[in-house]
């Protein structure tokens, strides 16, 4: 097992939530259970299945894992049939993405001196049948070790996850007014502005990365679909844009795309402040191995504390 595949296993088996019968079509997403408080990167991912008849939000569905075995003859000048999944085994042996054919040990082995040995002697590696059903051709290959069995390798989703790992996605840096800090106090009834501070490809997207494993090459592109703000007063605000940074010139205007208004002070909250948590929901589209798919990542989050007070009226 490769190091990258071994590293992926905790993600795939860390936690699988299933639902009781009767079975229904399921959507799924990968959720971060623990975010590093300083870097905003995920420390623990888990895969959650959600019943297909439960519309969690209006985001795209996770489209599954894809098939590990695929045919692609374009680099041989063969465009028909087009690239796409194939069965991982057949009467002709097991499928190899690298050789683009079904593999089995040639029996009997060719005699010494046969050109298919490519200068090697019998016993130095072996000769294998290589059958391509797409073009109905049987050939022979020599290999020092048995060619890889692509059916035992990673599927496209797993390779896409390798690409996602290379993206180093992290939670947004929180921009909010009133600003966090003991000397910064907002007022009940005044507009609160929220935004992704200095968004870049790692905190908001888009970002693209490519990874290869098991004869599969996948390119994945990630974008934030939304940021969900839990305001600490029981209110949740969903923002489909990065948000607009507040400027003093805006005065008492409400945010045009991501805002809130508190109706009571934070005096009764722990520490006298509201804890505001911004959670990023990512959508990743991947393509490769003649297939496409979607992966949803949720739960990358950061929190800040803000103080909201009541306006005092001076009466003489």
pLDDT digits (tens, 9 = 90+) for 17-40: 222 223 334 566 789 988 998 889
Q: Which residues contact 133 (CB under 8 A, 6 or more apart)?
A: 86, 90, 92, 102
What is d(CA 186, CA 204) in angstroms, rounded to the nearest whole number?
27
Mean pLDDT (whole number) for 136-163: 95
According to DSSP, residue 123 is labeled: B
Count other Cβ atoms within 10 Å, centred on residue 164.
24
> Which of 120-127's residues contact partners 24+ apart within 8 Å by CB, and which partners?
none
Mean pLDDT (whole number) for 224-248: 97
Q: Which residues contact 283 (CB under 8 A, 6 or more apart)?
A: 59, 60, 222, 223, 224, 225, 294, 295, 296, 297
What is d(CA 164, CA 77) in angstroms, rounded to the nearest whole number?
31
Residue of 295, 267, 276, 312 whose CA lies nearest to 31: 295
- Whether residue 305 is predicted with pLDDT greater than 70 in this model: the reply is yes
Residue 55, pLDDT score: 45
Domain residue limits, the chain: 70-152, 154-309
Which residue has better confidence, 162 or 62? Answer: 162
Residue 25, pLDDT score: 41
What residues are paired with 32 via a beta bridge? 45
Residue 56, pLDDT score: 54
Residue 63, pLDDT score: 86
Q: Which residues contact 38 (CB under 8 A, 6 or more apart)?
A: none
The answer to whether the CB of 291 falls within 8 A of the CB of 58 is no
- Whether residue 268 is predicted with pLDDT greater than 70 in this model: the reply is yes
- Whether residue 62 is predicted with pLDDT greater than 90 in this model: the reply is no
DSSP string, 144-169: SSPPP-GGGS--HHHHHHHHHHHHT-
Return the axis-axis angle of helices 156-167 and 3-13, rounded to nearest 10°: 100
User: Using alpha carbons only, what angle is made at residue 102 by residues 96 and 107, rounded to the nearest 5 degrees?
Assistant: 120
Residue 48, pLDDT score: 80
3-class secondary structure, 5: helix
Hey, what's the torsion of the CAs at 144, 150, 152, 154, to 10 degrees? 120
What residues are paired with 296 via a beta bridge? 283
pLDDT band at 76, cuts 50/70/90? confident
Residue 184, pLDDT score: 86
Sign of the C-alpha dihedral computed for residues 116, 120, 121 and 123 taken in this order: negative
Its CATH architecture, for the domain 154-309, is Sandwich (2.60)
What is d(CA 224, CA 237) in angstroms, rounded to the nearest whole number?
15
Mean pLDDT (whole number) for 109-113: 95
What is d(CA 111, CA 119) in angstroms, rounded to the nearest whole number?
12
Residue of 94, 216, 82 whose CA lies nearest to 155: 216
Mean pLDDT (whole number) for 40-54: 76
What is d(CA 171, CA 208) in angstroms, rounded to the nearest whole number?
17
State the burial class of residue 83 (Cβ atoms within 10 Å of its Cβ: 0-12, 13-18, 19+): middle
Mean pLDDT (whole number) for 2-28: 36
What is d(CA 291, CA 207) in angstroms, rounded to the nearest whole number?
20
- Whether residue 132 is predicted with pLDDT greater than 50 in this model: the reply is yes
Note the Cα 256 to chain centre separation in Å.
30
Residue 59, pLDDT score: 74
Flag whether the pTM goes above 0.75.
Answer: yes
Mean of per-residue pLDDT scores for the chain: 87
């Amino acid at each position: 097992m490769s190091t990258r595949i071994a590293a992926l296993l905790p993600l795939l088996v860390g936690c699988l939530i299933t639902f009781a019968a009767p079975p229904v079509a399921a959507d799924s997403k990968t959720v971060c259970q623990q975010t590093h408080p300083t870097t905003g990167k995920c420390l623990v991912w888990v895969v959650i299945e959600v019943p297909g008849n439960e519309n969690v939000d209006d985001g795209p569905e996770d489209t599954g894992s894809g098939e590990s075995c695929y045919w692609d003859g374009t680099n041989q000048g063969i465009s028909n049939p087009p690239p796409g999944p194939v069965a991982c085994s057949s009467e002709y042996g097991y499928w190899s993405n690298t050789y683009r054919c079904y593999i089995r040990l040639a029996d009997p082995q060719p005699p010494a001196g046969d050109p298919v040995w490519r200068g090697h002697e019998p016993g130095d590696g072996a000769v294998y049948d290589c059958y391509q059903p797409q073009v109905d051709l049987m050939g022979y290959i020599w290999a020092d070790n048995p060619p890889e069995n692509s059916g035992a390798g990673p599927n496209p989703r797993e390779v896409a996850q390798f690409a996602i790992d290379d993206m180093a996605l992290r939670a947004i840096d929180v921009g909010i007014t009133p600003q966090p800090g003991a000397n910064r106090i907002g007022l009940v009834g005044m507009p609160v502005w929220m935004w992704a501070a200095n968004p870049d490809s790692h905190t908001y997207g888009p970002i693209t990365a490519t990874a290869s494993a098991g004869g599969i090459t996948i390119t994945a592109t990630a974008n934030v679909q939304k940021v969900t703000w839990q305001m600490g007063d029981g209110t949740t605000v969903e923002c489909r844009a990065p948000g607009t940074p507040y400027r003093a010139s805006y005065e008492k205007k409400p945010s045009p795309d991501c805002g809130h208004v508190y109706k009571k002070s934070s005096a009764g909250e722990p520490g006298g402040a509201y804890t505001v948590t911004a959670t990023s929901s990512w959508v990743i589209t991947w393509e490769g191995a003649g297939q496409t798919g979607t992966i949803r990542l949720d739960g990358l989050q950061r929190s800040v504390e803000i103080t909201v007070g009541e306006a005092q009226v001076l009466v003489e």
